[in-house]
Amino acid sequence: MLNNLKQQPADALLALIKLHNADPREDKIDLGVGVYRTDTGATPVFESVKAAEKLLLDTQDSKAYLGPEGDMGFVHALMPYVFGAANPTMDGRIDGMQAPGGTGAVRLAVALAKKAGVGRILMGTPSWPNHAQIAADVGVEIKGFNHATKAGVADMDSLREAIAGAEATDAIMLHGCCHNPTGIDYTDAEWDEIAGLIKAKGILPILDLAYQGLGQGMEEDAYGIRRVLAEVPEALIAYSCDKNFGYYRDRVGALYVLAQNADAVNIVLSNGATLARAAWSMPPDHGGAVVRLILSDAGLTASWLNELDVMRARMNEVRAKLGGAGVQGSVDFAPFGTQNGLFSIVPLNGDQVLAMREKHGVYMAGSGRINVAGLTMGNIDKFIAAVADVTA
């Protein structure tokens, strides 16, 4: 039977890592894998995480099962940061469960949506590639619409048209902030309009908040999802701590549900628990427990927020430098200065991406997507000059 399986293509980014590692040039630049890097190229463990891990090591007295909902102390500790400190449960209408990373949260959201009757998800493209892969694996159709214009801003006309043509059984997938892969976010005014459009059409929002705090700030980056949730009767929210706690390999995420009342929330989460039980039984505990400890200690919370501020400031410094480069070759870098988060797309074709790699030692995805955190004040001029060279 196993002979019936066909060879699948290797992950393009993993292949890029191998090529980069094999390149002997000392001035090579890795802009592929989406992890934060310091100005020296390191991806450090947060000091707040180290302190909480030590505390967990000293105090944890059992490794017994937690159940498919995971560490509910973690789930609830995160909620004021996501939904606002004043009323994080929206009067009992929001609750959640732990998931293995943002990927697990997105998968659970899509599976729940399908179980509830959703047959199609509207989604701006390009998007994080795993969104479409998850939907295909779960068996939900993706109907794409254009996310951004050539001017480097959100394509609101395409979004309006997509929502206007939506059917009653559709959902819409939206990035809460720091759009992956474009870095192009909706403005607050655009979120205000989007919330009204979704409410008027009555479709289900699936909101993916994977980078809170890496754009404009923790509060600012939550504006969009809070605005939508204030208008709609129900929604699914996938959350990741992998980026804003630097917890990539330990897979820390949560799925939150907004429903019309607490009883409805419990019904949805009972289905979530059933789906989780069949998929991963229960999420890994370590990372969620560490985040819970950080958020339950004022000193550790302050340390974490300060470390997050440092990350955001460095990426915004890189973006300001890019934006200030203006037009280089055929590429206008100005929009990069107003985009958010780890990612942006440089408008290069396949031959130009190859030339960046072979001629200049700059490694990036074939789509032109770059991880801006791979740029430093020491290599950014080389990168800009390389783009100018291959697009001249």
CB contact set of 310 (below 8 Å; sequence gap of 6+): none
Within a domain: 32: yes
The pair of three-digit structure tokens given for residue 222, joined into one six-digit string: 């939550």
CB count within 10 Å of CB 72 equals 17
Confirm whether 247 is domain-assigned.
yes
What single-letter DSSP state applies at residue 279? H
- CB 28 within 8 Å of CB 378: no
Residues 335 and 376 in one domain: yes
Residue 305: both structure tokens together: 């927020």
Looking at the structure, tell me whether residues 365 and 292 fall in a common domain: no
* Shared domain check, 127 and 27: no
* Per-residue model confidence (pLDDT) at position 151: 87
- Could you tell me if 250 and 360 lie in one domain? no
27 conformational bin, left if phi > 0, alpha if psi -120 to 50, beta if neither: alpha
Count how many domains the chain has.
2
Q: Give the pLDDT confidence score for residue 12 in this predicted structure.
A: 77
247/323 same-domain check: no
Q: Determine which one of 243, 250, 304, 321 is catalytic.
A: 243
pLDDT of amino acid 139: 95
pLDDT of residue 23: 87
Q: Which residues of the chain have pLDDT under 50?
A: none
Residues 71, 155, 208, 221: which is the catalytic one? 208
Separation between Cα atoms, residue 121 and residue 129, nearest integer Å: 14
Query: Which listed residue (128, 155, 191, 242) is catalytic?
Result: 128
Question: What pLDDT, on the 0 to 100 scale, is given for residue 11?
Answer: 77
Q: Are 99 and 70 in contact (CB under 8 A)?
A: yes
* 224, part of any domain: yes
- Indicate whether this model's pTM tops 0.85: yes
Rounded Cα–Cα distance for residues 343 and 175 (Å) = 13
Distance CA 346, CA 374 (A): 14
Write down the pLDDT at residue 14: 77
The answer to whether residue 208 is catalytic is: yes
Q: What range defines the domain where residue 246 resides?
A: 65-296
Which domain-ending residue is among 248, 270, 296? 296
Residue 245, amino acid: F
304 given a catalytic annotation: no
Among the candidates 227, 261, 296, a domain finishes at: 296
Termini Cα distance of the chain: 53
Of 250, 286, 306, nearest to 47 (Cα)? 306
Tell me, yes or no, whether 133 and 245 share the same domain. yes
Annotated catalytic residue 58? no
Residue 240 forms part of a structural domain: yes
